[in-house]
Amino acid sequence: MVSVTEFFKPKAAKSPRFAHLTNNTNPVWYKDAGLRKNVYHCVGLYLCVFYLGYDASLMNGLQAIPEWEKYFNNPSGAILGFISASLFLPAIFTPFAASWINGRWGRKVCLGVGSLLLILGAFLNAFATNIGTFIGGRVIIGAAGPFGKITGIALLQELAHPRLRPYVATAYYSNYYFGQIAASWFCFGVLSWTSSDWRWRVPCLFQAVAPLLVIIHLFFMPESPRWLVDHDRTEEALKILADEHANGDLNDELVRFEYEEICQALQAEKDNKNSKYSDLVKTPGNRRRLLVLVAMGTGSNWVGNVIIAYYLSPALKLVGIKKADQIAGINGGLAIWSLIWAYIGAMSAERVGRRFLWLAGTIGMLVSYVIITGLSGSFANSPSHGVGLAVVLMMFVYKTFYCMSWSPLPFAYGAEIMPYHLRLKGLSIMLSVQSVALTFNQWVNPVAMEAIGWKYYLMYIALIAFYLVLIIFFFPETRNMTIEAVSVLFDTGRKGDAEEASRKLNHDIMGKDDDAVVHVHVDDVRK
């Protein structure tokens, strides 16, 4: 019989054995100039997901601003759904263009193109004179978003020092909530302004700030070492690895090991011609990767979170909370709460394991949503201020579990489980199906909530249970491994065997004996 510990943490890699490799860095990252620079480069990429979090709260906030409602004739039902869905419709297709640009011209060019388009979309939103122009701006923002969203996490995973990668990577999508906080409190603040259209135009214009900062950041960012190696610019790649991971020491043992691992892993992928979209269905390992990517892409938006993220205002009105300042205040408080728990989850992922967070978070979400549904049904039958407050409380509980698991994990997990030549292709597919799910939600949710109210929550209870089953059977543990080792994990069986993945990487790809296996997680790397 499987124990609780084995259920949550099956076959994770053993404690890293890496002490024989020297590394020219301080064990404490903030005391080391090179690692501070590496963290700066990685953290700057967090701005790539700011726009989506900002938009999530912006749409909630705009619905609480009377001038926006009046200017666009109080949109509701299908019209409100289309306004929300317009952000996600183009994102069904543009991830594939982003993947192509990444492969052809590199990560930095793709980030620059996406950021310029985001700025254009923000200006169209802010200065819209009719609903068509407003939707057009959202379409451009939606088309541009994937350029940064998938490229940012790929570059971060490929650039981060291996000692820091698990933490900075899982924290990537958590910064979605910085965007939420900015928009929610911005919209709350403008309610005190003198009544005018600028109460909604200024928050829309602020969408341009994050992509502008990304463009500035690109002037100081290095290119991905893996992309450079793949394009035969090996000397540049080695220099970047040395600068980012060893304070410029080209002969550093960790840097030389990483460089060798990258070169041989990419060459093995080229030899196997494993670089087309069709390759995602050709082997059992790739089919498992594809299943997990699709599950994360759809699940990140079909587990009930979208009701709270995009339709908090009508959801609160169902339980008697209707004042604009109350809704805006709850929206802002929920965003701060979400950010805190997303970072707790991100910082815990390497200690407790990704699988533990997936399971604990999803089980907690399921229980919370059952309670939210029951309370909402009770309020519908017998309105009570106490029941309404209980629903708000349970929304915070639900977001706790969602934010510690489904917020930080999908993009970090999706990037690390893919081999280099399929990494952007896999992330493109995940983002595309995520956009399909979001488009469906944004179009259907307001109509369904208007028609059947709280009963619509029952569908999400069933979906959360479905994704829990997928996690139990198909999501392996990836802690204590390098990105190269994780990328072969799915080739070792349905549940993944970390020790076997390390042996496979060393023996089959790097040509080393099994006895020479090293686990590239660097808590044990010494100076």
Q: Looking up tokens 């040509």, which residue turns up?
A: 511
Map out the domains of the chain with their CATH numbers: 4-516 (1.20.1250.20)
pLDDT tens for each residue of 139-195: 999 999 999 989 999 999 999 998 898 899 989 988 888 888 888 788 888 888 888
Beta bridge partners of 22: 526
What is the pLDDT at residue 500? 59
Name the DSSP class of 397: H
Residues of the chain with pLDDT under 50: 1-2, 4-8, 10, 12-18, 514-527
Give the 3-state secondary structure of residue 250.
coil
Q: Which two tokens stand for residue 290?
A: 């594809």
Rg (CA), the chain: 23
Instruction: Compute CA distances 287 → 272, 310, 418, whole Å.
Output: 16, 32, 11
Q: pTM for the complete prediction? A: 0.79
Position 486 scores a pLDDT of 77
Indicate the helix (H) or strand (E) that contains 119. Answer: helix 107-126
* C-alpha pair distances (Å), 438 with each of 18, 441, 491: 43, 5, 31
Mean pLDDT over all residues of the chain?
84
For position 450, what pLDDT does the model report? 77
Structure tokens at 281: 């269905």
In the 8-state DSSP scheme, what is residue 389?
A: H
The per-residue DSSP string of 145-198 comes to: HHHHHHHHHHHHHHHS-TTTHHHHHHTTGGGHHHHHHHHHHHHHHHTTSPSSTH
How many other CB atoms are there within 10 angstroms of residue 459's CB atom?
Answer: 14
Where do we find the tokens 């900002």?
54
Angle between helix 324-352 and helix 176-190 axes, rounded to 10 deg = 170
Is the CB of residue 139 less than 8 Å from the CB of residue 120?
no
Cβ atoms of residues 448 and 518 within 8 Å: no
The phi and psi torsions of 97 (rounded to 5 degrees) equal -65, -40
Q: What is the pLDDT of residue 502?
A: 56
Q: How far apart are CA 128 and CA 214, in angstroms?
A: 25
Percent of the chain with pLDDT over 90: 44
C-alpha to C-alpha distance for 498 and 490, rounded to whole angstroms: 9
For 470, the 3-state DSSP assignment is helix
Q: Is 418 helix (H, G, I), strand (E, B) or coil?
A: coil
Beta carbons within 8 Å of 412's beta carbon, 6+ residues apart: 153, 157, 169, 170, 172, 173, 349
Residue 131: Cβ within 10 Å count: 15
Residue 310 confidence (pLDDT) = 52
Q: CA-CA distances (angstroms) from residue 93 to 54, 323, 468, 512?
A: 22, 39, 28, 42
Alpha-helical runs (H) found in 219-352: 225-230, 234-246, 253-271, 284-299, 305-310, 312-318, 324-352
**Cα–Cα distances in angstroms (integers) from residue 54 to residues 7, 203, 274, 336, in the given order:** 37, 9, 37, 13
Place of tokens 């793709």: 110
- pLDDT tens digits, residue range 12-30? 444 444 456 888 999 999 9
